[in-house]
Amino acid sequence: MATTHDRSKLIRNIQLAAGITTVAATGLLTTTADMLFRFAIDTQWKHSIFHQALIAPDRKEKMDQGEAREAGQWFSATQQPVSITSHDGLRLHGRLFDPDRIDPAPHLYAICVHGYTGAPDEQAKWAHRYARMGFTVLVPSQRAQDLSEGRYVGMGWLEHNDLLDWIRLIVESDNQARILLSGGSMGATTVMMTTGDPRLPRNVVAAIAESGYTSVRMEFIDSARGMFHMPKLLASACVDAAGLICKHRAGYDFTEASCIPSLRHTIIPMLFIHGGKDRMVSPRFLDMNYNACASIGRERLLVPDADHMESSAVEPDLYWDTVCGFIYRSFRI
């Protein structure tokens, strides 16, 4: 029979083993979280996702077919440089385009916002469409991407403050401006985080959000499970730990970076679009975003066979009929 001394010794050994295991597990979690943060957020880390090719050649060919090729040529030939300084001192760059029609209605502006690991030219197809509808089009470079300064990507959370600055630039030059916000992927999330912000000028008339995620935390958990094959519990723990590192280094936490609070205060017309076969941003976010939106002018479009940002290529007639109809109704043009 075990004595009291034996039991006490056993308990101490178990506590010691548990302590060692906890320390080791904590160290491993911290290391994994740090690598996850640098991989996903730090554009200056040489192993980050920003130094890797993301779009497979077959997908790029599909996305660049048809009108996208003509739009790309127009984008390169007619762009005008523009820049601002962000609230935290970064020089942000963009491209400005005049309306591409003879008789444009006055005071119409569109801002096209690109996505994660992206650049303004990925918005060429949308910018060209809006210019042909009579809009003056602004396509910003998101912070820490393309020509804009910065080290850390904000996944839409930091960028929505930049978008408000770009909007302010337009309104200060034309106080009668009527503005459309349009974004894809992280650009869509940037837009959604902006539409319910109390600082949003009344000049913003409507917004389009395509393939946007609802929450940075949920998107990164999905990505960790898919890219690194982590179990959900481990993915959640790593993402939450990486979020704490992000709060310390980049100034925001993944949990707070959500569209929901903004969408609950959104009153302008909103069009949400998603591909039913999106492998980068889950299609479930379409309903989450749509249902959270308080606007009585909210609309949604699901293109069942489209992958990430492919809806306009897979179902072009349905896509552009929906988008153009939404714009004509919202702006009454």
pLDDT in tens, the chain (333 residues): 445 554 455 434 433 333 333 334 455 788 989 999 999 999 999 999 998 865 555 545 655 667 899 999 999 999 999 999 999 999 999 999 999 999 999 999 999 999 999 999 999 999 999 999 999 999 999 999 999 999 999 999 999 999 999 999 999 999 999 999 999 999 999 999 999 999 999 999 999 999 999 999 999 999 999 988 889 999 999 999 999 999 999 999 999 999 999 999 999 999 999 999 999 999 999 999 999 999 999 999 999 999 999 999 999 999 999 999 999 999 998
Per the domain annotation, does 73 fall within a domain?
yes
Per the domain annotation, does 244 fall within a domain?
no
Per the domain annotation, does 110 fall within a domain?
yes
Per the domain annotation, does 93 fall within a domain?
yes
Per the domain annotation, does 16 fall within a domain?
no
Domains held by the chain: number: 1
Per the domain annotation, does 72 fall within a domain?
yes
Which CATH number belongs to the domain containing residue 173 in this structure? 3.40.50.1820
Cβ-based neighbours of 1, under 8 Å, separated by 6 or more: none
Per the domain annotation, does 232 fall within a domain?
no
Domain that holds residue 201: 57-215+257-331
Cβ-based neighbours of 181, under 8 Å, separated by 6 or more: 110, 111, 113, 163, 167, 191, 194, 195, 204, 206, 207, 208
Per the domain annotation, does 295 fall within a domain?
yes
Smallest CA-to-CA distance from 138 within 127, 122, 149 is with: 127
